[in-house]
Amino acid sequence: MAKTALYRTIWRWHFYAGLFVIPFILLLSVTGSIYLFKPQIDRWEERDWRGLPTAQAVTPDQQLQAALAAVPGGTFNHYRLPSQAGDAAVIHLALADHSMRDVAVSPAGKVIAIVDPTSRISPTISRIHGSLLMGLAGGLLVELAASWAIVMILSGLYLWWPRGRGLTGVLWPRWRGGQRLFWRDLHAVTGFWVAGLALVSLASGLPWSDAWATGFRLVRAEMGWIDGPQTWKGGVDLHASHDHQAMMDHHSMAAPAPTISLTAIAAKAMAENMPFPAIIQPPFAAARFGPPNGNVWRLTSEAQNRPLIRTVTYDPMTGAETSRSDFSDKHVIDRVINYGIAWHEGQLFGPINQAVGVLTALALISLAVSGSIMWWRRRPQGTLGAPPMPTDSRMKGLIILLCGLAALLPMLLLSLVVVGLLDWLIIRRSKPLARWLGTVRE
């Protein structure tokens, strides 16, 4: 009796979690699959910036002056090295309204394009994938869906467990037995094969979130897991005790102007053979993440395969190398996070990683579609169609497991509190609503 009650209880959790996350799974799988091919998409968008004439080539400093002249009021943020001869350099400028412009300048010093980097395909797909184009609210909603997706996958694995059955219907679907059995097996078998990859994808996306990542930043600082600033976007730095922009402005006024030119630093940078896209930041430029760049020229890479990234800094007065770091210098926690991010973005193993990512997304879409079909076909008229609530639902182990997950996933915890309040204040007081939701005990 207790085992039956446990099964039915977990089935209910799986049902409600799935019903909530299915729309998000469809959207995030599609957008995530597209973003896996960011390097190819970016290269296609920049197709007119490559293979340009190299006769009468100008210096990087002259390219910078051309970009500044084309965007009045722009402030030099970084210079992206051409990937090969004949490609345009891309100069990233900051505007007074805090927006950015990417200026593509040909080898001959001609401005051939001025674009808002946030309007490009990859950043747009990224914002849909990460925040539904809704800012912080959308980001929290995506994090909530990811948290419940973890519950859905773990509960699905419990429901899939063979319990004495053979391999048919467990590792591969039964093709005979009617449509109902086929959809059930397709859902269960696909869920088993994709569960591990899906959990890795969900977990590797949490460092970019808002609530979870803020908590992780706090734990990371308190535990001393820090070797330099966080190199990925995610969460709020609760230990920030100063205004980065004010600090940058103060140092910019106090420090003398660099005497080493961009052209000289670019020559050194080319010899480093940094993974593309490699960028040069001038002294005190605003960093992509963390505090502003210090009083040094900084060469680094923005490659998505993060283990390949290196950073070299140069003295602004002499051009001498002042520091050098690579992936092995990071704290082990940061290395794990960056491996996960590179995997999530499909760049850790190149095309193989992209292919696995697409297959994972297709499997998740299959789960969403098959789950929706099973629900719609079995749904009793006039109700949501939730599995019957067991009369004995006192399962301490399940409660402990759920509390453990909630402790690790703050948005899950918050949603459980909200659902509990709604159940107590509204659902229990409305028999028609309780009957429709399937919360009436049988």
For residue 122, the one-letter residue type is: S
Tokens for 190? Answer: 């696909």
How many CA atoms lie less than 13 Å away from 242 in the CB half-sphere?
A: 10
Q: Whole-angstrom Cα distance, residue 46 to residue 206?
A: 31
Q: Whole-angstrom Cα distance, residue 116 to residue 177?
A: 56
Domains of the chain, CATH where assigned: 2-36+126-208+350-437 (no CATH), 48-121 (3.10.450), 231-344 (no CATH)
Q: What is the 3-state secondary structure (H, E, C) of 236-277?
A: CCCCCCCCHHHHHHHHHHHCCCCCCCHHHHHHHHHHHCCCCC
Q: What pLDDT, on the 0 to 100 scale, is given for residue 313? A: 96
Alpha carbon 260 to its chain's center: 37
| Beta bridge pairs of residue 6 | none
At residue 131, what are phi and psi to the nearest 5 degrees? -145, 10
Q: How confident is the model at residue 241 (pLDDT cuts 50, 70, 90)?
A: very low
Alpha helices in 36-134 (DSSP H): 38-45, 60-70, 121-131
Which one-letter DSSP state was computed for residue 88? P
Length of the chain: 442
- Work out the end-to-end distance of the chain between its first and last CA atoms, rounded to an integer number of angstroms: 14
Q: Whole-angstrom Cα distance, residue 182 to residue 173?
A: 7
262-272 and 60-70 helices cross at what angle (nearest 10)? 120
- pLDDT tens-digit series, residues 260-290: 999 999 999 999 999 999 999 999 887 776 6
Q: How confident is the model at residue 395 (pLDDT cuts 50, 70, 90)?
A: low
Q: How confident is the model at residue 392 (pLDDT cuts 50, 70, 90)?
A: low
- pLDDT tens-digit series, residues 87-120: 999 999 999 999 999 999 999 999 999 999 999 9
Q: Does the pLDDT at position 147 exceed 60?
A: yes
Alpha carbon 41 to its chain's center: 17
